[in-house]
Amino acid sequence: MRIHTKIVAVLVFLTCLPGISQAAINVFACEPEWAALARALSDGEIKIYSATTSTQDPHHIQARPSLIAKARRADLLICTGAELEAGWLPLLLRKAGNAKIQPGQPGYFMAADYVDMLEVPTTLDRSLGDIHASGNPHIHLEPNNIARIANALTQRLIELDENNSVRYQKNKKQFIKRWQQAMADLSERAASLRGQKIVMHHNSWPYLNHWLGMSAVATLEPIPGVPPASSHLARLKNRLSHDDVAMIIHAAYINERSAQWLSAKTGIPVVSLPASVDFHQGETLVQFYGALIDALMAAGE
Ligand SMILES: [Zn+2]
């Protein structure tokens, strides 16, 4: 009996220690980059679920029952926004019926609300394909965006979990310091990419181009979201040559048949880039950016 009382006392003591508190927040991230950012800012103190992996196309996933169940238990939803998830998130939110993560609630965080969007259309013509009214949604490929979103997300975590505010602030400071150092190193390593012309499969890369000083001269998709047709590829074959264009880039989750066809005809190398962080393997955003630069630099050698 006495031993039992002691164990209870020890357990009570342990749960009262600041470092061993229960996970205060359940996070549901739409994409692995936001799951990784939440992990960096929370230092393992919160539970994080990523709805997609780096090998999935975040434009198109199914709002399947296992996702709905996770969303039902979430305190904080972290997504890109800007219509990236327009095909599945509204349905997921409706089916989950979780009041905490509905639009306008503190538990609803859209990363695109905190950055300057590129390619905001002046007129909206849906016949031009998957054109997003709020601009290009592939915002996680620009270091400044990540830093801004880290600041905003820290504020939100504190709003939801005030008891841990000192920890969130400390983690954010450390993250930003490491991030800025790592990104300065990477831009230096990638200096030779400046001014290079590229072809993209899908228009996923304008933020990366903006950061690295590359420019896109064509996309394999004739209009966003529409697969490459042979007539469009044939036109590109006649227009492009290896002298002008350094590489054809695509996200690793995309079928590279069209890119390989054009490469065989023109000699322009194909570069497959990771679309995001391998969250389940514990990859960090810094490592993901490093892998992007590694792949781009290898193509230029
Ligand atoms: Zn897109």
Amino acid at the residue 57? D
What is the chain's mean pLDDT, rounded? 91
- CA of 132 from ligand 1 middle (Å) equals 9
**Predicted confidence band at 132 (pLDDT cuts at 50, 70, 90)?**
confident
Per-residue DSSP letter, 279? G
Q: What confidence score (pLDDT) does residue 13 get?
A: 47
| Structure token pair of residue 30 | 């739409």
Question: Domains of the chain, with CATH numbers?
Answer: 22-185 (3.40.50.1980), 191-300 (3.40.50.1980)
- Higher model confidence: residue 132 or residue 61? 61
Q: What confidence score (pLDDT) does residue 18 get?
A: 46
Q: What confidence score (pLDDT) does residue 19 get?
A: 45
- CA of 120 from ligand 1 middle (Å) equals 13
Q: How many residues does the chain have?
A: 301
Per-residue DSSP letter, 206? H
Question: Among 170, 177, 164, which residue's Cα sits nearest to residue 46?
Answer: 164
pLDDT over 80 (residue 124): no
- CA of 137 from ligand 1 middle (Å) equals 6
Q: What confidence score (pLDDT) does residue 17 get?
A: 47
- Higher model confidence: residue 132 or residue 206? 206
Least confident of 20-34, 242-256, 282-296: 20-34
- CA of 224 from ligand 1 middle (Å) equals 7
Q: What is the pTM of this model?
A: 0.90
Q: Scanning the structure block, which residue is given the tokens 């926004």? A: 81
- CA of 207 from ligand 1 middle (Å) equals 12
- CA of 24 from ligand 1 middle (Å) equals 33
- CA of 210 from ligand 1 middle (Å) equals 16
- CA of 61 from ligand 1 middle (Å) equals 13
Q: What are the tens digits of pLDDT across the range 55-98? A: 999 999 999 999 999 999 999 999 999 999 999 999 999 999 99
Quickly count: other Cβ atoms within 10 Å of residue 50's Cβ.
Answer: 25
pLDDT over 90 (residue 178): yes
Taking CA 258 as the corner, what is the angle to CA 252 and CA 259, rounded to the nearest 5 degrees? Answer: 60
Q: Are 154 and 168 in contact (CB under 8 A)?
A: yes
- CA of 268 from ligand 1 middle (Å) equals 23
Q: What confidence score (pLDDT) does residue 243 get?
A: 82
Beta-bridged to residue 254, according to DSSP, are none
Q: What confidence score (pLDDT) does residue 22 get?
A: 58
- CA of 58 from ligand 1 middle (Å) equals 8
Q: What confidence score (pLDDT) does residue 16 get?
A: 44
Name the percent of the chain lying above pLDDT 70: 90
